[in-house]
A and B are shown apart, each in its own frame.
Chain A
Amino acid sequence: IQLTQSPSLLSASVGDRVTLSCKGSQNINNYLAWYQQKLGEAPKLLIYNTNSLQTGIPSRFSGSGSGTDYTLTISSLQPEDVATYFCYQYNNGYTFGSGTKLEIK
């Protein structure tokens, strides 16, 4: 399964509602996770099984979707959210998307 993330680069203002997209080449059956990677760090799990928030992750992060289309939403962008975000499917093999780089405008 191939994953296509869009946009590849997103610039938004503090406080904005931000939506990141991940589209699979086949049905992912909700076996979809989202990772946040800050510069020089390992990826950190935010969301698993489409919409389950990992322990310790702020509630401004949420996930949704079904079938082939999935979304990560940040309800109110904070300066510390600057990072690259990757989606990851584990329904059929294991595949990562190419990432969305999120910047503050």
Chain B
Amino acid sequence: EVQLVETGGGLVQPGKSLKLTCATSGFTFSNAWMDWVRQSPEKQLEWVAQIKDKSNNYATYYAESVKGRFTISRDDSKSSVYLQMNSLKEEDTAIYYCTILDGPFDYWGQGVMVTVSS
């Protein structure tokens, strides 16, 4: 059974940093392209970042809204993907989902809440 479990969320002040972790199991992680998707309090879904596999040189891609502030990374030995979030803004407040978006191979974690507020 495929499992994606996000941790690391919480309340953080604007301008601060937070790192999310997604621990996975049940599939060949090293071959998977991993994505982070977030959902705002207004329920709007937004794709945030993607990291490809080793054969694609671990290429990374970001939404314009987070480019330069967020960094996606992975550790194939731990079957885990990470999202380092720096210079957080109030508009980054959302539920963050770790996902695999690959046609029918589509899986989402339960999500982790990130609240940016002073």
A and B together in one complex:
yes
* CB contact between A43 and one of B35, B50, B108 (< 8 Å): that residue: B108
Interface size class of B (residues with CB under 8 A): 10 to 19
* Residues of chain B with a CB closer than 8 A to A94's CB: 35, 47, 50, 101
A11 and B101 alpha carbons, distance in the complex (Å): 30
Asked whether A96 lies within 8 Å of B46 as measured between CB atoms, the reply is yes
Asked whether B45 lies within 8 Å of A54 as measured between CB atoms, the reply is no
Asked whether B44 lies within 8 Å of A96 as measured between CB atoms, the reply is yes
* CB contact between B110 and one of A42, A54, A96 (< 8 Å): that residue: A42
* CB contact between A95 and one of B43, B47, B97, B106 (< 8 Å): that residue: B47
Given A42-B109, A42-B110, A42-B111: A54 and B104 interface contact (C-beta under 8 Å): yes
- Residues of A69-104 at the interface with B, using a CB-CB cut-off of 8 Å, are 84, 86, 88, 90, 93-96, 98-99
Asked whether B45 lies within 8 Å of A43 as measured between CB atoms, the reply is yes
B97 to A: closest C-beta gap in Å:
6
A88 and B50 alpha carbons, distance in the complex (Å): 16
* CB contact between B106 and one of A45, A93, A98, A99 (< 8 Å): that residue: A45
Provide the main secondary structure of the chain B interface: strand
A84 to B: closest C-beta gap in Å:
7
A37 to B: closest C-beta gap in Å:
8
* CB contact between A42 and one of B44, B97, B104 (< 8 Å): that residue: B97
* Residues of chain B with a CB closer than 8 A to A88's CB: 45
B17 to A: closest C-beta gap in Å:
24
Pull 20 A–B residue pairs with CB atoms less than 8 Å apart, ordered by A. A33-B106, A42-B97, A42-B110, A43-B45, A43-B97, A44-B108, A45-B106, A48-B104, A48-B106, A52-B104, A54-B104, A54-B106, A84-B43, A94-B35, A94-B50, A94-B101, A96-B37, A96-B44, A96-B45, A99-B43
